[in-house]
Amino acid sequence: MADDIKSNLPPLKLHVPEPKFRPGDEVDYSDIEIQKAGEQARPDISTKPIDMRDMVYDLIRVLDDDHKAVGPWDPKLDDETLLKMLLTMVQVRTFDDRLHRQQRQGKTSFYMKSTGEEATSVAATMALHPDDMCFPSYRQQGILFARGYPMVDMVNQIFSNREDKLKGRQLPIMYSSKRLNFFTVSGNLTTQYPQAVGWAMASAIKGDSRIAAVWCGEGSTAEGDFHSAMTFAAVYNAPVIMNIVNNQWAISSFSGFAGAERTTFAARATGYGIAGLRVDGNDPLAVYAATQWAAERARTNQGPTLIEHFTYRADAHSTSDDPTAYRSAQEQEEWPLGDPIMRLKRHLIHRGVWSVEQQEALDLECLDAVKEAVKEAAKNGILGHGLHQPFETMFQDVFEEMPWHLKEQAAQADKEREIKWPDAEASKQ
């Protein structure tokens, strides 16, 4: 009987997500619903997540087509703050372009740019307190720029030279700064999510006032660590902001493989019973406002917030990637939400506090500063030039006091070096 019933059923079919555009295709983004700037409601920070479920499908926007800041989400920032935001984003983009060139010249092994996504780190960080803890992914170098980390130290780390504060133990661009509350970048996807939630829980346990903010790409939301972190954040009401940078593409697969065909990434918040916002990630003022709202919510024990930044990765995933192999070249040009730097520049010009000439001067100023940082860092060594950390450091800093077995390994390694490279050892004397 069971076999007869099954014989009447159609064969099962597996759905494999497929991007809308491939190399050479004409691009049409008309199906993306872009809400009008200023029309999104701004709920009170004490609003229960169940009463703000529509926010995960909306798109918070502040800058309109006339370059004005409109609506209830306008953070009403002063000119000085906005100019600092513009300067910082230009610094990040200039730095990215220059260091990408250094990798192509063989001075470092790897680099990742954040072109088009600068607002998701710079504007968000500016809305936080300096002592709030940031748990970045590998495309949030804007956090360090916003907090004043020296460019030359960043380049030293990228070159893995003798002044690298991480002593050559991390891949290029995987920075760390305890002083600036910037948690060490990890190449493993989404490990920072449970770490951020755990840190936020610890802050609450101690009765501190600091909150945590964490970032990941949309593809990383498919990782188990993401969902474990969401569960802990919801259960323990952790004071944390969980940012998803939805830039449409992982290294070679589009966002559909992480669930974008079914719903928004902000909608993941609804399933866990926490507050969720969906933001125009190329609108710096909207990013600032959403982060400010979520930070105030966390700081007043109202719970965690998940923010989806709807943006676009305008460049390659990394220097190891060739996006022309899997996406249409027209995508960047046709992206309907524009460029965050251009949008903020036009807003400042509209306010009468900026000009095209000032922007050109700023671009040159930032380029000169990056060139100088690269030149200064290169004095400490570049890839393959031997100006690196002392050999012994590879055994240090694992334990507070080096255990016997590491001491033995270090001694053995030193002995083998003396045998294999006697000239190098003699030159150290």
Does residue 402 belong to any structural domain of this protein? yes
Does residue 6 belong to any structural domain of this protein? no
| Structural domains in the chain (count) | 2
401, 371: one domain: no
Residue numbers of the domain that contains 335: 49-320+327-378
The model's pLDDT over 212-234, given as tens digits with 9 standing for 90+, comes to: 999 999 999 999 999 999 999 99
Dihedral sign from CA coordinates of 196, 199, 203, 205 = positive
The model's pLDDT over 74-101, given as tens digits with 9 standing for 90+, comes to: 999 999 999 999 999 999 999 999 999 9
Domain boundary among 357, 378, 399: 378
**Nearest Cα residue to 342 out of 387, 425, 284, 263:** 284
276, 401: one domain: no
396, 374: one domain: no
> Does the pLDDT at position 429 exceed 80?
no
420, 274: one domain: no
> Does the pLDDT at position 426 exceed 60?
no
Q: Is 314 helix (H, G, I), strand (E, B) or coil?
A: coil
Q: Are 286 and 63 in contact (CB under 8 A)?
A: yes
| Mean pLDDT along residues 302-322 | 96
Does residue 43 belong to any structural domain of this protein? no
404, 283: one domain: no
Distance between CA 233 and CA 162 in Å, rounded?
A: 40
Distance between CA 369 and CA 98 in Å, rounded?
A: 11
Does residue 350 belong to any structural domain of this protein? yes
User: pTM above 0.85?
Assistant: yes
Active site residues: 313, 317, 326
**Nearest Cα residue to 274 out of 304, 232, 242:** 304
CB atoms inside a 10 Å sphere around CB 73: 26
Q: Cα-flanking dihedrals φ and ψ of residue 212, to 5°?
A: -115, 150
> Does the pLDDT at position 206 exceed 80?
yes
390 band by pLDDT with thresholds 50, 70 and 90: confident
5 band by pLDDT with thresholds 50, 70 and 90: low
H helices of 214-314, where? 224-236, 268-272, 284-299
Does residue 20 belong to any structural domain of this protein? no
Does residue 125 belong to any structural domain of this protein? yes
CB atoms inside a 10 Å sphere around CB 199: 22
**Nearest Cα residue to 410 out of 400, 402, 401:** 402
297, 190: one domain: yes
pLDDT at 252: 84
The model's pLDDT over 123-147, given as tens digits with 9 standing for 90+, comes to: 999 999 999 999 999 999 999 999 9
> Does the pLDDT at position 370 exceed 60?
yes
User: Which amino acid appears at position 362 of this protein?
Assistant: L
In angstroms, the Cα distances linking 21 to 25, 219, 320 are: 6, 18, 22
105, 143: one domain: yes
425 band by pLDDT with thresholds 50, 70 and 90: low
Domain with residue 344: its CATH number is 3.40.50.970
Query: Above pLDDT 90, what percent of the chain?
Result: 89
Distance between CA 381 and CA 365 in Å, rounded?
A: 25
| Mean pLDDT along residues 174-181 | 98
Does residue 240 belong to any structural domain of this protein? yes
403, 310: one domain: no
| Mean pLDDT along residues 181-196 | 96
417, 341: one domain: no
300, 398: one domain: no
349, 416: one domain: no
Does residue 170 belong to any structural domain of this protein? yes
69, 204: one domain: yes
pLDDT at 251: 85
**Nearest Cα residue to 288 out of 30, 12, 81:** 81
